[in-house]
A and B are shown apart, each in its own frame.
Chain A
């Protein structure tokens, strides 16, 4: 049917308005949302891994880490971030939160996120660091003798449900102050555990509610100084504390300090973490040291890393790193660790750009384990070869 006269003009106007509305909606979509992601495929080769009578001591072989992130600016003051990861333990939701920004100096974050702790966490995505794995204090599963050590001091990322208040302020053009304070559900473990059970804080843990109803709290303060046009220095301190058992009887306290400097094309990073934790050895379980009459024990787990990263060219980046863990405290007699045990690792690594946004990663590691004596008792080597891409 052919339309003429007024109905045709009305239809044309309506079509034009509809098209304009669609265009406006499409433009709004383009302005408000950003979709990004990364993927790493790593092959971890551990020559000493035999899978013999002692079982596997490392998750060697192929592993992949995939992350998809959507950031949406709902308005000038409200934004939302959702990130889904796929890794060694299946799907994880490390980000699902709103940021309500009153000003740069006051941002209220609510939802699921990794609370502000330490300097590494902002770089935890494998696309944002040179090595395939993380520094030992933040190890999430690529360390040797993983079961003996129960990962690092604070495996990264460490998403949790809660609220954080933070912000950033520049003093002139030379100094940036960042702060954050938060309350989150906190780490957990069942009654009778002698360490945290990290899996209960992950999406695969199934039940994502707190086990004791009492939030954990913490905060971070850091200052970045710009020194000249190509150099800067960041100094930060972080703390986190909470109870981990259903009866709120036992606590963990994690503290850390970090210094990082960027001098031209060289980055130097130094970070130290310590976790102190109390627990009660279950009756009938023999321990290596005499349990005090109170029945309450504690241990400390220290971790540190020092790394130097140098961008050699637009194509090649090299890194050397020394990191380690030290644990002091009572253990069940079945544990392979002594009441004082340490592990040190020395890493040489590099990345090579194969295409924009697509890199080859390689690293070689020398591990040194020690039990009770301050010398390297036991050496092992390990190697990573990976590709990582971003979009």
Chain B
């Protein structure tokens, strides 16, 4: 049984996808954080966090998780560390948790700022 070969509509669909993708490239959104905006002493911790935690999922997953509590982060990172092939050692959890503490405290502070609701 012979089925139809790719035809013009296929080419048009491919072109549409390319155009949509290129147009959407105007976005400046990013999955992680802008390293240049981080304090110098936090950057190595963020780099390790980004390297380890982007292996299996987007960085937005932990960053958007809404977790603000250090103990909850500790449990979260422990769960990830025990994932098969995570590549996260116990030693890695220290700088990762240090970064997450910084991230939580700064985003929490920003959320509590008086003009946070107007932004």
Could you tell me which A residues sit within 8 Å of B by CB distance?
Answer: 27, 30-32, 34, 36, 45, 47-48, 50, 54, 57, 71, 73, 79, 101, 104, 107, 116, 119, 122-123, 127-128, 166, 168, 170, 173, 176, 178, 180, 220, 222, 224, 226, 229-230, 232, 234, 236, 260, 262, 311, 313-316, 336, 350, 352-360, 362-364, 366, 378-381, 383, 385, 390-391
B32 and A229 within 8 A (CB): no
- Scan residues 50-95 of chain B and give those whose CB is less than 8 A from a CB of chain A: 51, 54-58, 60-61, 63-67, 69, 71-72, 75-76, 79, 82-87, 89-91
Cα of A31 to Cα of B109 in the assembled complex, Å: 20
A226 and B7 within 8 A (CB): no
Q: Is B10 an interface residue (CB 8 A)?
A: yes
A360 and B24 within 8 A (CB): yes
Chain B residue with Cβ nearest A367: B6
B82 and A383 within 8 A (CB): no
22 pairs, A vs B, C-beta closer than 8 Å:
A47-B4, A48-B6, A73-B75, A104-B82, A128-B56, A128-B58, A176-B89, A180-B84, A229-B51, A232-B55, A262-B55, A314-B34, A315-B27, A316-B25, A357-B64, A359-B58, A366-B6, A379-B6, A381-B10, A383-B14, A385-B16, A390-B61
Cα of A333 to Cα of B51 in the assembled complex, Å: 53
Q: Is B119 an interface residue (CB 8 A)?
A: no
A385 and B20 within 8 A (CB): yes
A176 and B86 within 8 A (CB): yes
Residues of B within 8 A of A122 (CB): 56, 83-85
Cα of A52 to Cα of B26 in the assembled complex, Å: 41
Q: Is B113 an interface residue (CB 8 A)?
A: no
Q: How far is the CB of A4 from chain B (nearest CB, A)?
A: 38
Could you tell me which B residues sit within 8 Å of A by CB distance?
Answer: 1-7, 9-10, 13-14, 16-17, 20-21, 24-25, 27-32, 34, 51, 54-58, 60-61, 63-67, 69, 71-72, 75-76, 79, 82-87, 89-91
Contact of A352 among B14, B21, B71, B83 (CB under 8 A): B21
Q: How far is the CB of A35 from chain B (nearest CB, A)?
A: 9
Q: How far is the CB of B93 from chain A (nearest CB, A)?
A: 12
Cα of A385 to Cα of B3 in the assembled complex, Å: 23
Q: How far is the CB of A278 from chain B (nearest CB, A)?
A: 28
Q: How far is the CB of B117 from chain A (nearest CB, A)?
A: 19
Cα of A180 to Cα of B82 in the assembled complex, Å: 13
Cα of A331 to Cα of B9 in the assembled complex, Å: 34
Residues of A within 8 A of B32 (CB): 314
Residues of B within 8 A of A360 (CB): 20-21, 24
Contact of A362 among B21, B61, B72 (CB under 8 A): B21
Residues of A within 8 A of B64 (CB): 356-357, 390-391
Cα of A27 to Cα of B79 in the assembled complex, Å: 19
A356 and B91 within 8 A (CB): no
Residues of B within 8 A of A54 (CB): 1
B1 and A336 within 8 A (CB): yes
Residues of B within 8 A of A364 (CB): 14, 17
A224 and B56 within 8 A (CB): no
A357 and B60 within 8 A (CB): yes
B21 and A350 within 8 A (CB): yes
Q: How far is the CB of A354 from chain B (nearest CB, A)?
A: 5
Most buried by A among B6, B56, B79: B6
Cα of A34 to Cα of B78 in the assembled complex, Å: 13
- The verdict on A380 contacting B61 (CB below 8 Å), with A34-B67, A356-B30 known, is no
B24 and A357 within 8 A (CB): no
